[in-house]
Amino acid sequence: PPTDVPEMPPCSFSPEEYKGMSKARMMEIRQQNCSPMTMKVTYYKEPVFIHQGYMQWLWDVDGRRYLDLFAGVATVSVGHCHPKVRAAAEQQMKKLWHTTNIYVYPTLHEYCEKLVSYFPDPLKVIYLTNSGSEANDLAMLMARLHTGNYDIITLRGSYHGGSPQAMGLTSNAAYKYPIANGLGCTNTMCPDVFRGPWGGSHCRDSPVQTTRECSCAQGICMANEQYIGQLQETLATSVPTRIAAFFGEPIQGVGGAVQYPKNYLKQAYKLVRERGGICIADEVQTGFGRTGSHFWGFQGHDVIPDMVTMAKGIGNGFPMGAVVTTPEIAASFAKGIHFNTFGGNPVACAVASSVLDVKDGTQKVSLDVGSYLMVELAKLRDKYEIIGDVRGKGLQIGVEMVKDKVSGSKKTVLGVENRIIYKETICKKKD
């Protein structure tokens, strides 16, 4: 093993000694009784057996300590087993751990009031769910009901969930099953200024830009105009004249921490609204301060969506999601009865409320630490031929590894709050 690997910072927390099931027995059960998918997504040649977590640290069953750059699959927004979040959950469980939102209980209403305070008008109505996929499913239904239209547009490379309906929104082959899906969902070109056919060195709202040359005049982004042209082409040829919605992650997560040209979303929203559609920001990965400059990713694009979906960091790992929308859209949804047994669960609301309470300062940490990390990673990009691109905002960071910078043959390493996974892709880039 290499001898020049730096040691991790010290940690004063002592985990409990593991005395549970053997690793061999866990793997037997995983293989025989758990979903076969759990064997496919282990990611590592040697499985990691996690025993305990505290803040940024994890310990395996052998007592080995890890710095969690995965952030619990981009979910643990304020740290594993944060003392204040844990205390809030414990306190609520002593009083009431389940009732439904057909009853009026303080925890639900206190949280809803707190969450909407983070949104601009008119985004003031909340639907609480159990996951991001469920939130996006609900957003699709609400958009179609409100507009009376059916077709929804997403960007290639997008990830909006794996439920049967959200799978149509997701434009990423690894998450698609060989069955008919995506009825009413159309994908348009992702404005990726590194892998796409157009892009330059001033396109991104990021401390680090691509190394592609740019000859655009001041205040003009030719790449953005070309990608908007692709969206216009999609609207003209692939969907009806009236559409239901446009879904967009402010920064693509699973797609590779992809950032769009600075004005892309603003112009895309205008085109979609002209055709009767509503604009939906999927903040499952970008929300709750992860991008550093703003609490919500859409704020960095100077737009106000008609609907925002969220999950992951909302509950610091506790199963929870939400849709936030306008009173007008919410009124359209009242034509039927929508009921979710666990949406707004008292413990979930107590946990989510405490997450907002302890987030003071974490957004600035994302900005400061993330910006420093990206600048340092860019130095490695300039030094090593294998690194093609560094991108992102705050602690949503992507590093793209290339087999050959000249030919454009790439092996991609995707970063989401320092998340690292691997996939193979081939892409050709203009000289």
Q: For residue 226, give both structure tokens.
A: 């070309």
Report yes or no on 322 lying in a domain: yes
Residue 72 covered by a domain = no
Contact 271, 245 (CB under 8 A): no
| Distance, CA of 346 to CA of 324 (rounded, Å) | 19
Question: Of 161, 129, 153, 179, whose CA–CA distance to 324 is shortest?
Answer: 129
Whether residues 62 and 99 share a domain: the answer is no
What's the predicted TM-score (pTM) here? 0.92
The last residue of a domain, from among 298, 327, 358? 358
Same domain, 59 and 184: no
Q: Report the percentage of the chain scoring pLDDT > 70.
A: 93
- Which residues form the domain of 260? 86-358
Lowest mean pLDDT: which of 158-162, 294-298, 412-416?
Answer: 412-416
Residue type at position 413: V
**247 and 139 inside one domain:** yes
Query: What is the Cα–Cα distance from 81 to 318, expressed in whole angstroms?
Result: 11
Hey, what's the torsion of the CAs at 255, 264, 195, 285, to 10 degrees?
-20
Indicate the number of domains in the chain.
2
Instruction: Mark whether 41 and 124 lie in a shared domain.
Output: no
Residues 58 and 192 in one domain: no
Within a domain: residue 428? Answer: no
Peptide bond preceding 47: is omega within 30 degrees of 0, i.e. cis? Answer: no
pLDDT band at residue 426 under the 50/70/90 scheme:
very low
Residue 155: give its domain's CATH number: 3.40.640.10
> What does the pLDDT average to over 2-24?
89
In a domain, 50, yes or no: yes
Please report the pLDDT score of residue 6 as a whole number: 80
Helix axes 346-358, 106-116, angle to 10 degrees: 40
For the stretch 17-72, pLDDT in tens is: 999 999 999 999 998 998 887 777 767 788 899 999 999 999 999 999 999 988 88
Q: Are strands 278-282 and 307-310 parallel, antiparallel or unpaired?
A: parallel
Residue at which a domain ends, from 358, 377, 408: 358
Please compute the mean of the pLDDT values over residues 309-315 and round it to a whole number.
97
Given a cut of 90, is residue 406 above it in pLDDT?
no
Q: Are residues 220 and 117 in the same domain?
A: yes
Distance from first CA to last CA of the chain, Å, rounded? 39
* 79 in a structural domain: no
DSSP 315-378: GTTSS-EEEEE-HHHHHHHTTS----SSTT-HHHHHHHHHHHHHTTTHHHHHHHHHHHHHHHHH
Does 100 share its domain with 59? no
Neighbour count for residue 358 (Cβ, 10 Å): 17
Q: Are residues 105 and 61 in the same domain?
A: no
| Whole-number Å distance between alpha carbons of 190 and 227 | 8
Domain boundary residue, one of 358, 377, 400: 358
